[in-house]
Amino acid sequence: MSYHQNNYNQMPKHLMILGTASHVGKSVLAAAFCHIFSKTAPTAPFKAQNMSLNSWITKDGGEIGIAQAIQAWAAGIEPTVDMNPVLLKPKGDRISQVIILGRPA
């Protein structure tokens, strides 16, 4: 057996999706992977910081980016503020509202 076959269960099972520009499909791809992976293992989306005008209010009243909410639903779980701890909502010329763990900072 190879090293990878022997150590598969000990290896972290995480996936990071990166892109070099905005609006290139990273969130859509993440939602698709959340749906696929949730069929065989516990799966949840995570985006440390998101800048978006579009947000979702979670069941506990916190606010997260809509993309993370859609990814959570694709994974078959309820969206929570832990999935998007920092949300920046543009308000004008170089000004953003800062949302930390679902609440305005």
Beta bridge partners of 100: 86, 103
The one-character DSSP state at 82 is G
pLDDT tens string 30-60: 999 999 989 988 899 999 999 999 999 999 9
pLDDT tens string 55-102: 999 999 999 999 999 999 999 999 999 999 999 999 989 899 999 999
What's the whole-model pTM score? 0.83
Distance CA 87, CA 74 (A): 20
